[in-house]
Amino acid sequence: MRAARLIKMVLLLQTRASMTAAELARELEVSERTITRDAQALSEAGVPVYADRGRAGGYRLVGGYRTRLTGLARSEAEALFLSGVPGALREMGLQDTASAARLKVSAALLPSVRDASRTASQRFHLDAPAWFSEPRTPELLPSVADAVWDDRPVLARYRRGESEVERALEPYGLVLKAGVWYLCARVADTEAFRVYRIDRFTAVEPGPERFRRDDGFDLPGFWAERAEEFARSVLRSEVVVRLSPDGVRRLPYVLDPASAKEGLSASGDPDGQGWVTLTLPVESEEVAHTQLWGLGPDVEVLAPASLRERCARDAARSAALYR
């Protein structure tokens, strides 16, 4: 632990002209007293760390000293490709690994471009969670992430309805969708790949051996396919509506994207008033009522009759309020 911290301290001083004890302590998450002891240990080991005294003082490397400890470990290289998603790195327990990788890359760069990581972070930030929701990190996410990175099979218990199920899984990849973490895994001794919500896991026990990955597995492609299947699977009912031109434009904003896309792609030609009649796949009549109500007078429900009558009653009640 201390050896890794000393290396990180040298790399920090190599990438910056000078750093105060407070700055180093903040970066390395230790006390200033520990920084003083670490600087002394580096000096005794032959690393020319010099301490400037006074209010504007700090630590620096003497004589343009440069370490060659810049080779990336495999885990650091993998984490480096995720450095644009700091929140996800932190939740998976990879923040320190990515930090070490960035320092090694910075130390190997020319001084003229050494601030590239800082300038890039000022210009791009990924905020994965959805609006108006409080993201929660699943307790077992770091354990699952370790198994994914290390190709370790796991024996997992997870909640399915009111019961718990145990499965032997080969964890292939993690997906963060709108603040929710998912595991894409192959069920052991089968060819079946499935998706699991990690916040439903109650226990994860890694196995001692590594499993052999299917090199043809494409995580983005697999997720896109399963996400589309899921979106379509919940659309079990149909409604027939008429939409004004403005209603057609606003439909994708109030309905599930898959439903709006399917309905609009199969719609007929506009009538004399520019209105379009189309059939929409929906999750249920209840959900359709809530969603279509957002279009107000730009939608007319034609079928089923029960939904049309419900919308008519609600429209009459609204009209009475505004008389």
User: Over the stretch 258-298, which tens digit does the pLDDT of each residue have?
Assistant: 788 888 888 888 998 899 999 999 988 999 999 999 999 99
Q: 34: Cβ–Cβ under 8 A, 6 or more apart, which residues?
A: 25, 28
Task: Identify the residue with better confidence: 321 or 95.
Answer: 321
At 84, the pLDDT band (50, 70, 90 cuts) reads low
Indicate whether 314 pLDDT > 60.
yes
Q: What is the pLDDT of residue 85?
A: 57
pTM of the model: 0.54
C-beta atoms surrounding 92 within 10 Å? 24
- Residue 61 pairs with which residues in a beta bridge? 49
* Cα–Cα dist 113/29, whole Å: 26
Q: What is the pLDDT of residue 42?
A: 84
Classify each residue of 133-148 as buried b or exposed e, where b means 16 or more C-beta atoms within 10 Å of its C-beta.
Answer: eeeebbebbebbbbbb
| C-alpha distances out from residue 74 to 15, 100, 272, Å | 22, 12, 65
* Cα–Cα dist 15/227, whole Å: 43
Which tokens is 155 given? 């024996």
Give residue-wise pLDDT tens across range 2-48: 777 887 887 788 777 788 888 888 888 888 889 888 888 888 777 88
Q: What is the pLDDT of residue 103?
A: 66
Upstream peptide bond of 171 is cis (omega within 30 degrees of 0): no
Mean pLDDT of the chain: 81
Phi/psi at 319 (nearest 5 deg)? -60, -40
| C-alpha distances out from residue 30 to 7, 11, 22, 269, Å | 14, 16, 9, 69
Contact 73, 55 (CB under 8 A): no
Q: What is the pLDDT of residue 53?
A: 75
* Cα–Cα dist 157/180, whole Å: 18
Indicate whether 114 pLDDT > 70.
no
Only one residue has tokens 């983005």, namely 220
Burial class (CB within 10 angstroms; exposed 0-12, middle 13-18, buried 19+) of 171: buried
Indicate whether 109 pLDDT > 60.
no
Q: What is the pLDDT of residue 233?
A: 79
Give residue-wise pLDDT tens across range 203-257: 999 998 999 988 888 888 898 888 888 877 778 889 999 999 999 999 999 988 8
Q: What average pLDDT score do residues 50-66 get?
A: 75
Give residue-wise pLDDT tens across range 126-158: 566 666 666 678 899 989 989 998 899 999 999
Only one residue has tokens 């990581």, namely 117
Task: Identify the residue with better confidence: 210 or 80.
Answer: 210
Q: What is the pLDDT of residue 81?
A: 47
Q: What average pLDDT score do residues 173-190 get?
A: 88
Q: 163: Cβ–Cβ under 8 A, 6 or more apart, which residues?
A: none
Contact 167, 156 (CB under 8 A): yes
Contact 99, 78 (CB under 8 A): no
Q: What is the pLDDT of residue 1?
A: 62
Indicate whether 97 pLDDT > 50.
yes
Contact 51, 59 (CB under 8 A): yes
